[in-house]
Structure 1
Amino acid sequence: MSRVLVIEDDPGIARLLKRGLALEGIEVDIAEDGFAGRELWERGGFDLVILDVMLPGVDGLSLCAERRTAGDEVPIILLTARDEEEIAHRAREAGITACIGKPFSFPELLERVTALLKAG
């Protein structure tokens, strides 16, 4: 069974992701801020990370850059309500695998998740 870490401060989005991915047989852990996300991520064992760019504590881009510097190569999907062009360069520098704009279509997100899990 694949295991995904979702770092998302919006409880509605976090629940949607957890429920939807669980229906696909994917185990999901949730962190509601950057600090909790960092703690879970450092423990390891995740096949994929989905995180929001704007998080309380530590923002998603900084958290991703930290983990990449530590040698973590897990695929990362960044969720952003900001203009994707605005953050695209910073996202690539931070090691983000894919960006998805909010609001997003769950089937589109699931397609990306499935492809990244198969590739990994």
Structure 2
Amino acid sequence: MKHYLLSVVTPADGVAPAPEELEQIMRRVQGFHRELEEAGAWVFDGGLSSPSSATVVRAKDGDTVLTDGPYAEGKEYLGGLSIVRAPHLDAALDWGRKAALAIGLPIEVRPFEGEVED
């Protein structure tokens, strides 16, 4: 069985939804997660803090250097993720469609290298 990464593509200049809208989104997301679990496709999921909270660790001359903030500036960032089990890309894309409908943001679907033994 393959594992796929469903990345939530979040606009960097986006406006947070109103509390009532966010509540509805979260209900849809919880339903999506329940559906993943019931189908045996759920592996892991989570939301991420904004890129401004990031620290980049770089190897340099046999040591490491820490830098605050994101590695690169962008118009979009990884806002959350799900890792799902799916027998093939089309099944993973179906999960991506359901995630996009639940969250209302673009979802990038990307396979992990190789197969995973369950």
**Normalised by the shorter chain, which TM-score bucket?**
under 0.3
With CA pairs under 8 Å and 6+ residues apart, which has the higher RCO, 1 or 2? Answer: 2
Please state which structure has a larger fraction of its residues in helix.
Answer: 1
TM-score (structure 1 length as normaliser): 0.27
Please state which structure has a larger fraction of its residues in strand.
Answer: 2
TM-score (structure 2 length as normaliser): 0.27
